[in-house]
Amino acid sequence: MISKGKTDQVTINLDGKEVEVPAGMNLVDAVALHGKEIPHYCYHPQLSVAGNCRMCLIEMGTPMRDRGTGESILDEDGSPKIGWVPKPVIGCATNVSPGMHVKTESEMVTGCREGIMEFLLVNHPLDCPICDQAGECRLQEFATDYGRGYSRYKERKNVKPKRTRLGPRVTLDDERCILCSRCIRFSQEVAKDDVLGFVDRGSFSTLTCFPGKELANNYSLNTVDICPVGALTSTDFRFKMRVWFLKETLSICPESSAGCNTLVSSREGQIHRITPRRNDAVNDSWMTDSGRALYKLIESDDRLKFPLVDQEKSSLEDALNASLSLLRGKSVGIVGSCKSTVEEQYLLNRLAKEAKAKKYLRGHFGEDDGILLSADRTPNLRGALITGFASSYPTEHLSSLAQALKKNQLETLIVVGEDLIESKVDAELLSGVQIIYLGTHENVTSTLAQVVIPTLTSFEKSGSFVNRGFFLQGFQQAVPGPAGLLPEVSVFSRLINDLNGEGELSSDLNSIWKMMARSSTSPLKGLSVSDFKKDGIQLDGSKWADLPFVEQKALHYEAVAEPKRG
């Protein structure tokens, strides 16, 4: 496991050089900190150590001490004599200690790696041309870097079940499996769903589920990510695209307030898969299966692709002008969204001030699974709190909006991404109101709206979310949205500029942040985009500590208060 405290450092001798590494760290991680690689298969920083692949074998020695006195024994030149362990040791199970000497490049180590590599390939099928893992396969990589380079095996290979269905989303090819047991340890330790195991023994050991059971939990695809070879593959991604054609974009999963760090892989404007990105403070190396499937929403049938005015196809310019005429001089209500980015919520708040509008917000809630699917099914509820769009914890219904409509207090509603009917606002209440709907997909409210301005999914724009731990995390645009559409920040800034006639606001994220960071009381004080572009930043959420957050204790998250549904 990685030790988090940077304060305790220990000096070890790595291939002749003295280097500093955090105390308690294992050699595989320690050596990686200094730009060297110890190849490994079964070791994973967030799983227990198995030590069975034997690929990380290295030479290790510790300073010798006199058995009786405990004094260090010295060499001729006065440096401590090193007792080299005669057999190689595995780096993943060896923790650093002061004065330890490590050799990652030596004849013995080279011999070990060539040997282990050869053994791994002995019963491995020649599947590279049809295997999805090609291009990101650790067997390929380490064979190239550390293997012997030619095969000496001239016997028959073992035959095992191929392309079996391990679960609804995972395909298993037992011949490719190198029996590293990462998937089993993951299922037991992280997903807490003990369904995988090895049957038979020796070289005939085979990974399987109990007959009748499946690897069907909401974290099954993580086993595909951590499988170092092409044994476990994603059925959805099977045969779709060679990985070296994929462009990878850093993103954040919008499924819930867990805020899993993701990698969106796309080619020529089409997303082919989503995989988790490692973040030791938020999601380790995992994400939910349901979160991965969200990219399919881009192409779904009910996607809004062009602006509508009075339910007729229109240009964005016309839609914006129509919206302005519905806003000027009218009593306005704005229904914001917890799924909007921080920048969008900030601008929406400014728009609300500009139009002297009343603000409404609802939450989306579900069951907390205690791992990475939190009870709050929106990625940025806290963004709404921080930007000031909301000051109390939203409920599942827009009852105060329904009240306001009953009393005929509002003439125009800007609705961002919510379906009012679902939020317990009766359709009849909407008959006397003009609706400007901004959203990605069609719903009942959008069919009732006078102006529909389609927006972009989180894959098609850049922005940031604040997760349940008050972590501010940014994401990048992966693919372009439908032609002719602009991101919400452009729409909101355009509306604000036209309403106040000043034309000051720009939709550029940097300038938006300059404005947000100006506030002396906001947790965003002094921040700029580059601060959180790659890694998230912890914000101070103490101001909202008393709010009834619904999230339960989960991975890297301690529940703030007694979970109460508002």
Partner 1 sequence: MKLTKETLQKIDDVIPRYPDKRSAVLMVIHLIQDELGSISDETCEWIAEKLDLQPINVKELITFYPMLRETPWGKTHIRVCRTLPCALRGSYATCQKLEKKLGVKEGHVREDGEYSIEFMECLADCGEGPVVMVGEETFENIDEKQAEKLADQMLKGKLEKSADFVSYEKGLLSDSPSKAKKSSSKTKK
Partner 2 sequence: MTAKNSPKERRIILKHADDPNYSNRLGCYLREGGYEMLKKALKMKPEEIGAEVLKSGVRGRGGAGFPAGMKWKFLDRKSGKPIYLICNADESEPGTFKDRQIMYKDPHQLIEGMMIAAYAIQAKLAFIYIRAEFFEGARILERAIAEAKEKGFCGEKILGSDYSCDLVVHRGAGAYICGEETGLIESLEGKRPNPRIKPPFFPAVLGLYQCPTIVNNVETLCNVKHIIEMGGDEFAKIGKPNNTGTRIWCVSGQVKKPGYYEFECGALTLGEMIFDVCGGLLPGRSLKAVIPGGSSAKILRADERFVGKHKDGTDFDWGIEDVPLDFDGPMAAGSMSGSGGIIVMDDTVDIVEAMANINAFYAHESCGQCTPCREGCLWMKKITTRMCDGDAREEDPDMLLSIANQIEGRTICAFGEAAAWPTQSFIAKFRDEFVQKAKHSKRSKNSLQLI
Site residues, partner 1 (CB under 8 A):
194-201, 208-213
Tell me the closest approach of the beta carbon of residue 180 to partner 1, in angstroms: 16
Three-state DSSP class for residue 154: coil
The residue among 52 and 528 lying less far from partner 2, judged by its C-beta, is 52
- Please identify, using beta-carbon distances, which residue of 35 and 202 lies nearer to partner 2: 202
Binding mask 136-165 for partner 2 (x = CB under 8 A): ----------------xxxxx-x-------
CA angle, residues 196, 197, 201, in degrees to nearest 5: 160
Kindly tell me which of 227 and 352 has the beta carbon lying closer to partner 1.
227
Which one, 204 or 210, has the nearer CB to partner 2? 204
String of DSSP letters for 76-94: TTSSBPEEE-SS-EEGGG-
- Check: CB of residue 261 under 8 Å from CB of residue 250: yes
The binder of 179, among partner 2, partner 1, none, by C-beta within 5 to 8 A per type, is partner 2
Answer for which of 203, 315, 409, 510 binds partner 2 (CB under 8 A) is: 203
Q: Which does 35 bind (CB under 5 to 8 A by kind): partner 2, partner 1, none?
A: none
Which of partner 2, partner 1, none is residue 203 near (CB under 5 to 8 Å by kind)?
Answer: partner 2
In whole angstroms, the minimum distance from the beta carbon of 201 to partner 1 comes to: 5
Least distance from C-beta 394 to partner 2, angstroms? 47
Length of the chain: 566
Question: SS3 for 482?
Answer: coil
- The yes or no reply on residue 52 touching partner 2 (CB under 8 A) is yes
210-229 positions binding partner 2, by CB under 8 A: none
- Which stretches within 19-147 are classed as H helix? 27-32, 107-122, 138-146
Min dist CB 174 to partner 1, Å, is: 13
User: Residue 178 touches which of partner 2, partner 1, none (CB < 5 to 8 A by kind)?
Assistant: partner 2
Instruction: From the list partner 2, partner 1, none, pick the one residue 196 interacts with, judged by a Cβ distance below 5 to 8 Å according to partner type.
Output: partner 1
Give 121 or 516: the residue with its C-beta nearer to partner 2: 121
Which of residues 163 and 213 has its CB atom nearest to partner 1 in the complex?
Answer: 213
Residue 342 contacts residue 464 (beta carbons within 8 Å)? yes
- Return the residues of window 82-141 that contact partner 2 according to CB under 8 A: 86-88, 90, 93-94, 111-112, 115-116, 118-120, 122-123
Q: Pick from partner 1, partner 2, none: which does 51 bind, CB < 5 to 8 A by kind?
A: partner 2
What phi, psi does 336 have (nearest 5°)?
-85, -175
Q: Please, are residues 538 and 531 in contact by the beta-carbon 8 Å criterion?
A: no
Nearest approach in angstroms of CB 286 to partner 1 is 21
Number of other CB atoms surrounding residue 244 within 10 Å? 8
- Asked if 32 interacts with partner 2 (CB under 8 A), we say no
- Report the residue number, 17 or 201, with the smaller CB distance to partner 1: 201
Beta pairing partners, 436 = 414, 451
Q: Are the C-beta atoms of residues 481 and 460 closer than 8 Å to each other?
A: yes
Question: Distances in Å between the alpha carbon of 263 and those of 288, 295, 299, 423?
Answer: 13, 12, 19, 32
Q: Which listed option, partner 1, partner 2, none, makes contact with residue 105 (CB within 5 to 8 Å by class)? A: none
Give the integer Cα–Cα distance in Å for 431 and 415.
15
Q: Which of residues 171-190 bind partner 2 (CB under 8 A)?
A: 178-179
Which partner, partner 2, partner 1, none, binds residue 195 by CB below 5 to 8 Å per kind?
partner 1
Closest alpha carbon to 124 in 241, 41, 216, 222: 41
Give the 3-state DSSP-derived string for 427-445, with helices as H, strands as E and coil as C: HHHHCCCEEEEEECECCHH
The number of C-alpha atoms within 13 Å of 81 and in the hemisphere containing its C-beta is: 10
Spatial distance between the Cα atoms of 169 and 540, rounded to a whole number of angstroms: 39
Q: Which is nearer to partner 2, 205 or 476 (CB)?
A: 205
Q: Residue 367: which residues within 8 A CB-CB, separation 6 or more?
A: 375
Helix (H) or strand (E) holding 18: strand 17-22
126 vs 539: CA distance, rounded Å:
50
Instruction: Write the CA distances from 232 to 106, 315, 414, integer angstroms.
Output: 34, 47, 46
- Contacts with partner 2: how many residues (CB under 8 A)? 38
Least distance CB 257 / partner 2 (angstroms)? 37
Out of partner 2, partner 1, none, what residue 122 binds, judged by CB under 5 to 8 A for its kind, is partner 2
Task: Using CB under 8 A, list all residues that contact partner 2.
Answer: 49-55, 57, 86-88, 90, 93-94, 111-112, 115-116, 118-120, 122-123, 152-156, 158, 178-179, 198, 200-205
